[in-house]
Amino acid sequence: MNKILRLLFWGNYFVGFLAIAFNIEAAVQLKMPYNSLRYYALLFMLPVIYYTYAYQHQPINTEKTDPRSRWYARHRRFIHYSQMILLALSVIIAISLSFSYFDHIQRLPFIYWAFPGFILFTAVLYYGLLPGFMNLRRVGWLKAFVIGFVWAGYANLAPIIMTSIEKGNIYPDSILWLFLFVKNWMFCTVNAIIFDIKDYPTDANKQLKTFVVRFGLRHTIFFILIPLLGIGLLSLLFFTVYRGIMPVRIFINCLPFVLMLYVVYTMRKRHSLIYYLVLIDGALLFKAMCGILAMAIAA
C-alpha cells in the first residue's frame, strides 16, 4: 500500500485524476456535455508531466532528507521513461484532436485563445522556463496565487473550450462560470499555502518569502487560511441562496470547506509528507466529488 501511495502521490499521477475530476465537476455544474476520452487522457497526462518536471531535473542525491527527493533519485530511470511515454502520447493525442476538429479550432472566438494563452504563459513562468522573464516560483507571496490561478483555468476554462471544439460553440451562464472560477482559484490557493507549511524550513533557508516564512505558522493558519476559507464559505452561501439553489445542494457544496478548515487546523503540528499529499490533495478530490454529487441529486 505504501508503494502504491508513493507512486500515486509522489509520482504526481494523482494530480492527473484531480484534473479529470475538476473538469467533470465544471461540466456538470455548467450543464455541458462530457468531452471525448481523448481529451480526458490528454487532460490526465499534462499535469503529471508538468508537476514531475521539477523533481525530474533535481541532482541525484539519495542522502537528501526529503523522502520524495530520495524516491525520485531511486526511481530516476522509471520517471525518465514515464515522462517520455506520457509526452509522446500527449503529442499524438493533441495532433489527433487537431486533425479531427481543425475547422472548429479555427472558428474559436479570440477570447478562447487569449485567456488560455495567458494561463499557459503563467504556468511556464512558474518554472522560469523563459529566459529573461521572472521565475514566479521564487516570488514567495505570489506562488500560491499563481498555482491556484492555473488550476482554476485548467478546471473551468479548459472544458468550455474543448466542448466548443468538439460540440460547437457553447455559452454557459457567465455569472455562474465566474463564481466557480473564483471559488476554485481561492480553494486551490489555500491548498497551495498549506503545502508551503511542509516546505517551511527549506523556504526559510532559501529566503523564499512565502506566507508561512513571512508571518509564521500560527499567524498563517489563523489570520490567512481560516479567514480565506471563511470568506469562501460565506460567498458560497450567499451566492447559492441568491440563485435559489436547493438546501441539500448547498449543504453538500459546503462540506469541502468544512473539511479544509479541519485540515488547516491540523497543520498546527508537523506531519509526514505523505500525510500532506493524501489529505490535502484528497480535499481537492473531495471538493470535485461533492460538486458532482450535488448536481446529481438535483437532477
CA-to-CA distance for 151 and 54, rounded, in angstroms? 17
Compute the radius of gyration of the chain from its Cα atoms: 20
Identify the CA nearest to 222 among candidates 265, 190, 183.
265
User: pLDDT at position 201, please?
Assistant: 63
pLDDT < 50 regions, the chain: none
Place of cell 488560455: 116
Taking only the tens place, the pLDDT of each residue in 173-222 is: 788 888 889 889 989 998 888 887 776 666 655 666 677 777 787 888 88
User: pLDDT at position 202, please?
Assistant: 64
Q: What is the CATH number of the domain that holds 23?
A: 1.10.600
User: pLDDT at position 54, please?
Assistant: 73
CA-to-CA distance for 8 and 99, rounded, in angstroms? 33
User: pLDDT at position 60, please?
Assistant: 56
What total number of domains does the chain contain?
1
CA-to-CA distance for 240 and 251, rounded, in angstroms? 10
Its domain, for residue 171, covers 2-298
Contact criterion met (CB below 8 Å) for 220 and 197: yes
User: pLDDT at position 45, please?
Assistant: 95
The pTM (predicted TM-score) of the whole model is 0.89
Taking only the tens place, the pLDDT of each residue in 132-149 is: 666 666 666 678 888 888
